[in-house]
Chains A and B, each alone.
Chain A
């Protein structure tokens, strides 16, 4: 009987045990992994490929347009090109086309632009869904059992956060690989080391989002509520960010939302690290914002979880 007192329940040990549990559950359920990857894949494959914005500026689309004598461009006039130049040789238009694409999206093809945005999408869905697993733990009594052991309370929350984040990283890797197969154009500044930066960005977003979702899920004993919240906020968050379209072309009110939306910063960071020529000052801003976002939300989430755990 003696010795029961001497065990040292530690945060790291408990965190590890609980995280391994979640990961084991996850690996034994490959269908769920597939389902979560499928959604961004469909978006990427269908929307990304069908929204062939680059094609707007090719001769096929512009050829029958009336060409004025002079094309007014603010500040000066451009001598219009000779007609046969337009019809026979489309370099002029495609040059203009890819310039417009680059000025708008930073890259010449829209697919690369939006495929990278799918990383934010997968991080968001994964973290949101894993927040719900705590509702299950509560309903099935697992949470109460864990609470009756001397494992540090923080380990219970951190394990969920860590698990969500690890999943998100794994799934983001799959998405990135699939995007590459489907024709993602990597920039010349891309190296494999950039992957570490991508993981860091995902980690920060994952920690921030999952902390807050877990805290909210802790309060609800029903699955429906977090589900509804997720489906309610997911699309708006995606559209009010640079996931599909550049912020600078949005109306002012929407720009205001997009500029505080953490998805914009993750997406930008991932773009900087993959398809865009790396702009380190932009990257620093992205990471600074994400760091603050993760710290603040994790702090709120952990304080709330602490209160909700001790009923």
Chain B
């Protein structure tokens, strides 16, 4: 086994013989990295994860996790992975502690080990005080943390996180990111996650694959992807009333200069290094810079560039998710 922990080759899933959810997807995840699948709802992220965690069978192509084939050696894969699903799957009628023990039993972990480990994990996700309370009483953030703890009970080598912060408010989301980062650090795991939040992918992932309509459009580190757009945006204004476009263009790394009513919009690689060079070049010619701003392109711009549109229905889906959950709970009503 090389350092490729997950490897997918032409992985494809077709539902009902016509709906192509995942379309000949190729990627590999290296040991110890956080790999993110970024894409809008319905792009095929969850379907991909469900194939990798052996819940769905691929229609075509193959994939391996830790060297084990996800179809032929599914049981070996299952023993070594942890899963934090998109939904809150913990049983509402059981306590947090009971839920973790249930997970442990499914892995066949001896009780003496699992009891100790459950308490450790509850400590890690800061649920110790609530361990004997029914999950019904937990908030969204607590449920998510409980899911994390459940996913870690078998000390997985690879952890799969499906939309780990879906439906959480901004603070809870940030807190969850911290947990995920800590998990990676403490357990040295490889993480595979899906998200449709650009900030999340940017904040957490070492590498990202942008997926849309079941196809991977581009793969790279967030930095590479943003750089791929042609670098940062520098905006400069000068005191003097003169056209300095040519001077700026002659500076190293500058790719594009536009004069917009006295303000110069400059596209440049490594903006933090280029900006001082531009100031220097202008000063040498006797011009004074009055204003300078440097903006890095966000993943939003990357996304726009590759898919030709902004992230669709991001907020709407959160609402939809929450309302669906409320309906479910009401329907359950017991």
Contacts and interface: CB of A to CB of B under 8 A. Distances in A.
Binding between chains A and B: yes
Interface of A: 1, 3-5, 7-10, 13-14, 16-18, 21, 24-25, 28-29, 31-32, 136, 139-142, 144-151, 223, 310-311
Nearest to B136: A28
B93 A25 contact: yes
Contacts of A32: 334
Contact of A149 (B78, B88, B155): B78
Contacts of A28: 93, 134
Given A8-B108, A25-B94, 9 more contacts: A1-B155, A4-B80, A4-B157, A5-B80, A14-B105, A144-B55, A149-B103, A150-B107, A311-B56
A256 B160 CA distance: 55
Contact of B332 (A17, A136, A149, A151): A136
A9 B94 contact: no
A139 B86 CA distance: 12
B106 A17 contact: yes
A149 B107 contact: yes
B320 to A, nearest CB: 15
18 contacts: A1-B155, A4-B154, A7-B109, A7-B110, A9-B106, A13-B108, A16-B105, A18-B106, A21-B91, A21-B98, A21-B102, A24-B94, A25-B93, A28-B134, A29-B93, A148-B78, A148-B160, A149-B107
Contacts of A18: 102, 106
Which of A18, A25, A139, A141 gathers the greatest number of chain B CB atoms within 10 Å?
A141
Nearest to B147: A145
Contacts of B188: 1
Interface string B25-55: 0000000000000000000000000100111
A25 B108 CA distance: 22
B78 A7 contact: no
Interface in B153-209: 154-157, 160, 187-188
B87 interface: yes
Contacts of A29: 93, 334
A16 to B, nearest CB: 7
Contacts of A7: 79, 107-110, 154
B1 interface: no
A31 B334 CA distance: 9
A136 to B, nearest CB: 7
Contacts of B275: none
A141 B85 contact: yes
A290 to B, nearest CB: 32
Contacts of B331: 223
A21 B102 CA distance: 8
The 3 tightest CB contacts between A and B, nearest first, are A141-B87, A17-B105, A9-B108
Contacts of B80: 4-5
B53 A148 contact: yes
A310 B51 CA distance: 11
B81 interface: yes
Which of B57, B108, B110, B332 gathers the greatest number of chain A CB atoms within 10 Å?
B108
Interface of B: 50, 53-57, 75, 78-81, 83, 85-89, 91, 93-94, 98, 102-103, 105-110, 134, 150, 154-157, 160, 187-188, 328, 331-332, 334
B55 A141 contact: no
A14 B108 contact: yes
B26 to A, nearest CB: 23
A150 B78 CA distance: 5
A35 B162 CA distance: 38
A148 B49 CA distance: 11
Contacts of A1: 155, 157, 187-188
B55 A148 contact: yes
B157 A147 contact: no
Nearest to B78: A150
Contacts of B79: 4-5, 7, 9, 150
Which of A1, A8, A21, A139 gathers the greatest number of chain B CB atoms within 10 Å?
A21
A3 B78 CA distance: 14
Nearest to A8: B108
Contacts of B150: 145
Contacts of B106: 9, 14, 17-18, 146, 149-151
Contacts of A145: 83, 85, 89, 150
A141 B93 contact: no
Given A7-B109, A140-B87, A148 B154 contact: no
Nearest to B90: A142
B64 to A, nearest CB: 16
B107 A9 contact: yes
A142 B80 CA distance: 19
B192 to A, nearest CB: 13
Which of A18, A142, A150 gathers the greatest number of chain B CB atoms within 10 Å?
A150
Contacts of A13: 105, 108
